[in-house]
Amino acid sequence: MGTSPAGVAGVQMRGFERLPWRRIILVVLGIAIVLVVGIGAWKTLALPAAEGGYSAAAWRDFVVEGVSQGGIFAMIALGYSLVYGILRMINFAHGEVFMAGAFGSYFFADAYAGSGFLNRSPVIALLIITGVAIAVSVGTAALLERLAYRPLRHAPRLVPLITAIGASLFLQNVFRGFFGPQPYGYPKPQLLTGGTTILSVPITRVQLLVIVVAVLSMVALQLFVARTTTGRSMRAVAQDSEIASLMGINVDRVIVITFVIGGILAGIAGVLFSLTFGQVQFTMGFRPGIAAFTAAVLGGIGSISGAALGGFLIGLLRAVGPPLILTGYGIPSVFSIRDAFVFLVLVLVLVFRPGGLLGSGEAEKV
């Protein structure tokens, strides 16, 4: 420790040093990963059912589950992506915006379940619940922007990121302080229990609802950004906020609108997530937040279609990847490490293709 490796390299080391080490390491790493994944998948698929292999029906269920959860991730990912596109900052606290919506809606859902309203007119009840979730999420996102991020609009990039981490911690603990650390059981209307079959694929009603709502809201967002004046000013600010403001666009307003849209999507996602998993807790935003962020990066951060694609991909990878790759190696309870799997994907995407699938493929400079 403490000796300087700089400037003391001998002449004979020069040739050794000129080798493109980074590239070599990456290629070796890449080959190793392909091998590990390939062998694992092959071994898993060759495994007979009696020794822990999965049937075709099981794989189908994994895929359906993955697509459905992917829809939720995609909706959260859009929040990251929109904000990143406009402010070039990672809104680390977006997972908490999602949690806030889910938590806020819980109290209405619980009250409606208690009074029977949830089962008498489930559609109206769910609409109101979702409205509440959206309101809470949007409020949280707007407050966050106003109090924490706006004063730092022109600070170096790491400053808002650290602020966002602080805000995330703060928001979690606010909800813990308000409502306590325990998880709350989230009621589900009878309409959404049970399953159905589409094109001979069995699917639970909640999963169906999640996929439909996710697709619809993403189409709506795409139309909004592509067709409306506000959407056009959002795109303008994303390209160059200074020029946009010279063209008469109110940049502050556009930024607030971006946070609001992210909040709306997060609120809807919060309800869908709570219906899927049946509980809310103050820590619930962290892991889905990271998964969604991974999705946004995977698709190419800043792009709407990228976030959508990335969301569904991450959902699928998370549901299918661990059993497919890890079971073959005889690793027990593969689902307990599916979050580690997501983080691994995040690391690999950033290392190999930081621009994302739909991005430029180059690490951003500065």
Partner 1 sequence: MTDVRSWIRVGIIAGFVTIFLALVGLIGRFVDLNLVGEQVTFARLVLIAAPLVAGYVVTRPRIQAGERRALAPRDAIVAGAVSGATAGFVFGIAVVAADAFGIDRIRSVFLNVSEPLIDFVTFGQPPVVGAVILTAVSAIAGGLAAGLRVTPIVARRPITTAVSTILVLGFLQRIIPIALDQLGLERDWLYSRSIGGLTWLGAIAVGAAAAGLSVLNARKGRELRARLFSAGEEKTGVAPAQLVLVLVLVAVLVAVPWVVGEVISQVLGTVLIYVLLGIGLNIVVGYAGLLDLGYVFFFAVGAYSTALLTGAALNTFTGSGPPAVSLDLNFYLAIPIVLLIAAGAGLLIGAPVLRLRGDYLALVTLGLGEMVTVLIRSPWLVPLVGGPNGMRGVSDAAIAGFGFRETQHFYYLALGFVLLAVFVSWRLSASRIGRAWTAMREDEQTAEAMGVNTTRFKLLAFAMGGAIGSLGGSMFAVQIGSLTPASFEVQVSILVLGLVILGGLGSLPGVVVGSLVLVGLPGLLREFEEYRGLAYGAALVAVMILRPQGLVPNVRRSRELQEEERAQDEWAQEKEVEVAAVEGMAT
Given the rule CB under 8 A, which residues bind partner 1? 1-2, 4-7, 22, 25-26, 29, 89-90, 107, 147-148, 151-163, 165-174, 176-180, 286, 290, 293-294, 297, 331-333, 336-337, 339-340, 343-344, 346-347, 350-351, 354, 363-366
**Nearest CB to partner 1, comparing residues 207 and 303:** 303
Give SS3 for 346: helix
Q: Is 364 left (phi over 0), alpha (psi -120 to 50) or beta?
A: beta
- Dump strand ranges (E) for the chain: 184-185, 195-198, 201-204, 279-280
Question: Measured from the CB atom, is 74 or 89 closer to partner 1?
Answer: 89
- 80, 94 Cβ separation under 8 angstroms: yes
Q: Taking the CB of residue 330, how many other CB atoms lie within 10 A of it?
A: 10
Closest separation in Å from C-beta 21 to partner 1: 8
The least CB distance from residue 287 to partner 1, in Å, is: 8
Please list, residue by residue across 208-238, b when 16 or more beta carbons sit within 10 angstroms of its beta carbon and e when fewer do.
bbbbebbeebbeebeeebeeeebbebbebbb
In angstroms, give the least distance from the CB of 344 to partner 1: 6
Of 123 and 158, which has the nearer Cβ to partner 1? 158
- Shortest distance (Å) from residue 303 CB to partner 1: 16
- Based on CB atoms, which residue is closest to partner 1, 107 or 224? 107
* Residue 348, burial from CB neighbour count under 10 angstroms (0-12, 13-18, 19+): middle
Query: Based on CB atoms, which residue is closest to partner 1, 221 or 338?
Result: 338
Task: Tell me the one-letter amino acid at 265.
Answer: L
Instruction: Determine the Cα angle at 208 with ends 203 and 210, to 5°.
Output: 135
Closest separation in Å from C-beta 63 to partner 1: 23
Least Å from the CB of residue 88 to partner 1: 9
Whichever of 54 and 252 has its CB closer to partner 1, that residue is 252
Whether 68 and 319 have beta carbons less than 8 Å apart is answered as no
Phi, psi of 203 (to 5 degrees): -150, 140
CB of 174 to partner 1, least distance (A): 7
Residue 289: count other Cβ atoms within 10 Å of its Cβ. Answer: 26
